[in-house]
Amino acid sequence: MGSFKDVVGHRDVIQYLQNAVAENRVSQAYIVNGERGTGKKMLAKLFAMALLCEEHGPEPCNKCHSCVQAESNNHPDIIWVTHEKPGSIGVDDVRTQINNTVAIKPYQGPYKVYIIPEADIMTVQAQNALLKTIEEPPAYGIIILLTTNADTFLQTILSRCVRLDFRPLRDTLVTQYLQEKYDLTDYECRFATAFAQGKIGRAVTIATSKEFAQLKEEVMHVIRYAKEMTTAEIMAEVKNIANYKLTIDDYLDLMAMWYRDVLVFKSTKDSNALIFKDEMSLLAEQAKNCSYEGLEDILKSIDKVKLRLKANVNFDLVIELLIMAIKEAM
């Protein structure tokens, strides 16, 4: 069962929402803005549970019929808005799931809560359709927009919503949470914290996901052997990396973190600030053999890959050029 106490950090946002529930000063539209993995969905769910809790307190009681339904994602008055097309919430999604149903009164609670994950991928037409509901909502209707980029919304929507910003957490909070909740080594906690950059959900995924561990191994394979790879081996590796298209940002971020570590160690010879402390032998070897210019060229190449992939340049070609750049620099 959930509680606001389970949310790590963001105490100012939590206090604001709890006060709104306790004092019955609930707004009808909220924007919860923050990077992926910062806990936006969890907070939205807890807020909806508190609003509909039969005990009417600032926290969900987790015992009443409403809380039990909400916890199992089976509450008729909490609607999670979905979309059929990947990467886009269209006008039909908004009309069908919100506009055409908001006039129907809540089935059992005082509110009807609509939660829209990835709200920043709404088309302009979808936003305009939603605006009609936000401008003239029924007293029981509450809309919560979850987004990684609130600046994508129309100004007319921004002006009618209460905006709550989730900021990255301090590394000490993330590390402490991982140490308390999971059976991890100190190194695993520090690595996940460093990679997550203040995003608690991301840190948990990194620390506990077998898929992420496999991804890391694939990255390390290229880092270890790129220098000796033949053209045929590079092409084979490109095909292998194509299996990670959906997580290519993580792949590239891991690679960039490695070469930043190499650069830091080459400059300072200080291992305390490094992330990949489990690979000190290889890291020291590459720091010795690669020039500053070579390391900077690799990091620039990784940034170029990200830009080219966003521009829909051929995936295989972009990755091939990256491995070639690493091979030449080493």
Superfamily of domain 4-165 in CATH is P-loop containing nucleotide triphosphate hydrolases (3.40.50.300)
- Do the Cβ atoms of 287 and 266 come closer than 8 Å? yes
Q: What pLDDT digit, counting tens, does each position of 87-119 carry?
A: 889 999 999 999 999 999 999 889 999 999 999
The per-residue pLDDT for 1 is: 55
The per-residue pLDDT for 197 is: 82
Residue 2 has pLDDT above 80, yes or no: no
Of 153, 165, 133, nearest in space to 29 by CA: 133
Q: What pLDDT digit, counting tens, does each position of 307-329 carry?
A: 999 888 999 999 999 999 999 98
| Position 63 confidence tier, pLDDT thresholds 50, 70, 90 | very high
pLDDT mean across residues, the chain: 91
Average pLDDT over residues 153-179: 90
Average pLDDT over residues 296-314: 92
The per-residue pLDDT for 57 is: 86
**Inter-CA distances, 60 with 45, 46, 202, Å:** 10, 7, 25
Q: How many CB atoms lie within 10 A of CB 169?
A: 22
Residue 164 has pLDDT above 70, yes or no: yes
In whole angstroms, give the CA distance from residue 201 to residue 174.
9
The per-residue pLDDT for 199 is: 82
Q: What pLDDT digit, counting tens, does each position of 247-290 carry?
A: 898 999 999 999 999 999 999 998 888 889 889 999 999 999 99
The per-residue pLDDT for 87 is: 81
For domain 210-329, give its CATH number from 3.30.70.260, 1.20.272.10, 3.40.640.10, 1.10.150.120.
Answer: 1.20.272.10
Residue 67 has pLDDT above 70, yes or no: yes
Of 79, 81, 130, 122, nearest in space to 104 by CA: 79
Structure tokens at 106: 């809540």
The per-residue pLDDT for 246 is: 82
Q: What pLDDT digit, counting tens, does each position of 209-248 carry?
A: 899 889 999 999 999 999 999 999 999 999 999 998 888 9
In whole angstroms, give the CA distance from residue 158 to residue 151.
8
The per-residue pLDDT for 103 is: 92
Q: What pLDDT digit, counting tens, does each position of 38-51 carry?
A: 888 989 999 999 99
In whole angstroms, give the CA distance from residue 221 to residue 238.
12
